[in-house]
Amino acid sequence: MKKIVYRAVDGRSLSYWALLGAFGLLIALGAGSFFYMEHAGHWVTGMDNQVVWGTPHVFAIFLIVAASGALNIASISSVFNRKLYKPMSRLSGLLSIALLLGGLGVLVLDLGRPERLIVAMTNYNFKSIFAWNIILYNGFLVLVLAYLVTMMQNGLGGLTKTAGTAAFIWRLALTTGTGSIFGFLVARQGYDAAVMAPMFVIMSFAFGLAIFLLVLLVAYRGSERPLGNVVLFRLKNLLGVFIAAVLYFVLVQHLTNLYATEHHGIEAFILRDGGLYTFLFWVVQVGLGSILPMVLLFHPTLGKDLRMIVTAAVLTIIGGFAQLYVLLIGGQAFPLVMFPGKEVSSSFYDGVVSAYSPSLPEILLGLGGIGIAMALVTLAVRVLHILPESLADEVADPHAA
Q: What letter would DSSP give residue 281?
A: I
- 163 pLDDT band, cuts 50/70/90, is very high
- CA-CA-CA-CA dihedral for 5, 11, 14, 17, to nearest 10: 130
The amino acid at residue 108 is V
* Averaged pLDDT for residues 253-274: 90
Cβ atoms of 30 and 367 within 8 Å: the answer is yes
Cβ atoms of 275 and 330 within 8 Å: the answer is no
Q: Distance (Å, rounded) from C-alpha 208 to C-alpha 88?
A: 14
Q: Pick the residue with more confidence: 400 or 319?
A: 319
74: nearest Cα among 95, 63, 55, 89: 89
Average pLDDT, the chain: 91
pLDDT at 186 > cutoff 80? no
CA atoms within 13 A on the CB side of 45: 30
Range in 6-10, 93-97, 288-292, 315-319 with the lowest mean pLDDT: 6-10
* Three-state secondary structure call for residue 300: coil
* Averaged pLDDT for residues 108-125: 76
Q: Distance (Å, rounded) from C-alpha 319 to C-alpha 289?
A: 4
- 157 pLDDT band, cuts 50/70/90, is confident
* Averaged pLDDT for residues 113-132: 74
Q: What is the pLDDT of residue 399?
A: 67
The model's pLDDT over 196-209, given as tens digits with 9 standing for 90+, comes to 999 999 999 999 99
The model's pLDDT over 377-390, given as tens digits with 9 standing for 90+, comes to 999 999 999 999 99
Q: What is the pLDDT of residue 400?
A: 55
- CA-CA-CA-CA dihedral for 227, 228, 229, 234, to nearest 10: -70
- 155 pLDDT band, cuts 50/70/90, is confident
390: nearest Cα among 70, 6, 64, 84: 6
Out of 48-52, 146-150, 181-185, give the one with best mean pLDDT. 146-150
Range in 30-39, 70-79, 108-117 with the lowest mean pLDDT: 108-117
Q: Pick the residue with more confidence: 248 or 344?
A: 248
Q: Distance (Å, rounded) from C-alpha 141 to C-alpha 101?
A: 9
pLDDT at 141 > cutoff 90? yes
- 118 pLDDT band, cuts 50/70/90, is confident
Q: What is the pLDDT of residue 401?
A: 46
Cβ atoms of 72 and 205 within 8 Å: the answer is yes
237: Cβ contacts below 8 Å, ≥ 6 apart:
297, 298
Q: What is the pLDDT of residue 1?
A: 58
Range in 28-37, 164-173, 227-236, 351-360 with the lowest mean pLDDT: 351-360
- 275 pLDDT band, cuts 50/70/90, is very high
- 280 pLDDT band, cuts 50/70/90, is very high
All structural domains of the chain? 14-337+352-396 (1.20.1630.10)
* Averaged pLDDT for residues 39-52: 88
pLDDT at 269 > cutoff 80? yes
pLDDT at 332 > cutoff 60? yes
Q: Distance (Å, rounded) from C-alpha 390 to C-alpha 169?
A: 30
Q: What is the pLDDT of residue 309?
A: 97
